[in-house]
Amino acid sequence: MDSLSQIVLGAAVGEAVLGKRLGNRAMVWGAVAGTLPDMDVLGQYFLNELDNLAFHRGISHSLLASVLGALVFGWATHRLYHSAKHHHFAMLAKAAAVVVIGFVVNFLTQILSPGSWLPVALYVPTAAWLWWRHGQRRYFSGQWVKPDADLKGWVLLFFWGFLTHILLDCFTTYGTQVFAPFSHQRVAWGTISVVDPLYTLPFLACLLVAARFARGDRRRGIWNAAGLGLSSLYMAFTVANHSHVTQTMESALAEQGITHNSCFITPTIFNNVLWNAVVDRGDDFLVAQYSLFDEVPVSFHSVPKGHDLLHNFDTDNTIQILRWFSAGYFNAIQRNDGSLQLNDLRFGTFSGKAVGPDDYIFRFKLTDLGPDKDYGFEQAQGGPPDDTAEDMMVRLYDRASGLRSAYD
């Protein structure tokens, strides 16, 4: 899921493991543990876009990495805190906390005001305040106290931080290579959007309240448990919703006499009310949207696979990676400029009908380098064009409310 959700979950897990011994530092280190698996995004600086697509949520999100990473980071943290230079390490920990807060600030402000200078305007004063209050005053005035945590505690904090990160990602649509490097199968249960405020914000509120109490105060544990409980209940709600929508789609297909090979169901962005469905009929795909507030039958719309536009379909390396990434739910279209576009249909379309190239939520642009060469992979895109984003989001909200005319 998004960085903020992973940070909040990691902080809550850190509090549950070492909160009574470390106080807010347990939350900070838990947030770091909840963020570390996503550091695989740095692969974009060393890999081409296609390889980076396969690398993200790969080995760093595996069960093996959870175990080995917990041992390494747990040992390193324990060792450094007990070294003669522990105060320098404490400052590095505070710098890590500032980076984590930067992720949170950037995430929130980019949602409210995309592409603006607001993240920097908020982040810089926050970082300066943290440096003064927790750095200058504490670490340079002799007030720093070595954390009361043993090696086992540190290892458990990182292990649960890594493992819960992986599990949370499995509930989304993107796909997580849990069993890497032994298997590259992607786990994607598709019950929750990669960004869902109803999961994250109540959880965050409970965590902030918990952080206000001293480490020995029982109210601290109660509020942290409340956040974990609320988020878990909401996750169970998404699983129940997924089951209900799946049954609704299967019933609609049966009633309309539509035979199919497979069906993939996933919620639309920011909510768990409006759902996308993609149905593989063999010769083509069907796409549909269904809101929990709908009072009319599900309407399915045919989408050509367009695989005949692709040469060397079964041998081209670029196509094979994209087939694997999309779990086979992809189609190919030709844009007006003659370029080829592949669309991951698991993420659906904005209109629910596939009315044009920019209507696909997750799409890839390919370059034909010749019949004997693999396709070039130019860019991966997600979301609507900038000039239509606001309008599309408004229509998405209207459609989630059960208003079918939002896309007419």
- The answer to whether position 251 is within a domain reads no
Predicted pLDDT of residue 118? 65
- The answer to whether position 243 is within a domain reads no
Whether residue 143 is predicted with pLDDT greater than 70 in this model: the reply is no
Average pLDDT, the chain: 87
The answer to which of 30-34, 224-228, 240-244 has the lowest mean pLDDT is 30-34
Predicted pLDDT of residue 97? 64
- The answer to whether position 248 is within a domain reads no
Residues 65 and 187 placed together within one structural domain of the fold: yes
Q: Give the orientation angle of helix 3-22 with respect to helix 218-255, to 10 degrees.
A: 150
- For the chain, how many structural domains are there in total? 2
Residues 294 and 388 placed together within one structural domain of the fold: yes
Query: Helices in 195-256 by DSSP H: which ranges?
Result: 197-211, 218-255
Confidence of residue 80 (pLDDT cuts 50, 70, 90): confident
Residues 31 and 141 placed together within one structural domain of the fold: yes
- The answer to whether position 11 is within a domain reads yes
Residues 298 and 224 placed together within one structural domain of the fold: no
In the chain, what's the furthest Cα-to-Cα distance? Answer: 76
Predicted pLDDT of residue 87? 65
Q: Could you tell me if 158 and 146 are in contact, meaning their C-beta atoms sit under 8 angstroms apart?
A: no
Query: Helices in 82-217 by DSSP H: which ranges?
Result: 86-112, 118-130, 137-139, 151-170, 197-211
pLDDT tens by residue, 253-307: 999 999 999 999 999 989 999 999 999 999 999 999 999 999 889 999 999 999 9
Whether residue 158 is predicted with pLDDT greater than 90 in this model: the reply is yes
Predicted pLDDT of residue 296? 87
- The answer to whether position 245 is within a domain reads no
What residue type is 160 in one-letter code?
W
Tell me which of 206, 238, 270 is where a domain ends.
238
Higher pLDDT, 220 or 118: 220
Residues 102 and 229 placed together within one structural domain of the fold: yes
- The answer to whether position 306 is within a domain reads yes
Confidence of residue 95 (pLDDT cuts 50, 70, 90): low
- The answer to whether position 244 is within a domain reads no
Residues 308 and 379 placed together within one structural domain of the fold: yes
Distances (CA, A) of 181 to 176, 178, 326: 12, 9, 19
Whether residue 4 is predicted with pLDDT greater than 60 in this model: the reply is yes
Residues 229 and 308 placed together within one structural domain of the fold: no
- The answer to whether position 184 is within a domain reads yes
Predicted pLDDT of residue 321? 95
Predicted pLDDT of residue 93? 65
Residues 224 and 138 placed together within one structural domain of the fold: yes
What residue type is 128 in one-letter code?
A
Residues 12 and 48 placed together within one structural domain of the fold: yes
The answer to which of 93-107, 351-365, 383-397 has the lowest mean pLDDT is 93-107
C-alpha 262/C-alpha 95 separation (Å) is: 48
The answer to which of 45-59, 180-194, 218-232 has the lowest mean pLDDT is 45-59
What residue type is 103 in one-letter code?
F
pLDDT tens by residue, 296-349: 899 999 999 999 999 999 999 999 999 999 999 999 999 888 889 999 999 988
Whether residue 112 is predicted with pLDDT greater than 90 in this model: the reply is no
Predicted pLDDT of residue 28? 87
| Mean pLDDT, residues 15-41 taken together | 93
3-state secondary structure of 189: coil
Token match 């992986």: residue? 166
Predicted pLDDT of residue 339? 87
Instruction: Tell me the β-bridge partners of 175.
Output: none
Confidence of residue 354 (pLDDT cuts 50, 70, 90): confident
Predicted pLDDT of residue 44? 84
Residues 56 and 200 placed together within one structural domain of the fold: yes
Tell me which of 183, 212, 238 is where a domain ends.
238
pLDDT tens by residue, 183-198: 999 999 999 999 999 9
Instruction: Tell me the β-bridge partners of 333.
Output: 341
pTM of this prediction exceeds 0.85: yes
Tell me which of 212, 238, 264 is where a domain ends.
238
Domain residues for the domain of 305 are 256-407
Residues 300 and 184 placed together within one structural domain of the fold: no
| Mean pLDDT, residues 134-145 taken together | 55
Q: Could you tell me if 235 and 167 are in contact, meaning their C-beta atoms sit under 8 angstroms apart?
A: no
Residues 358 and 299 placed together within one structural domain of the fold: yes
C-alpha 386/C-alpha 391 separation (Å) is: 10
Q: What percent of the chain has pLDDT over 90?
A: 62
Q: Could you tell me if 92 and 77 are in contact, meaning their C-beta atoms sit under 8 angstroms apart?
A: no
| Mean pLDDT, residues 134-142 taken together | 54
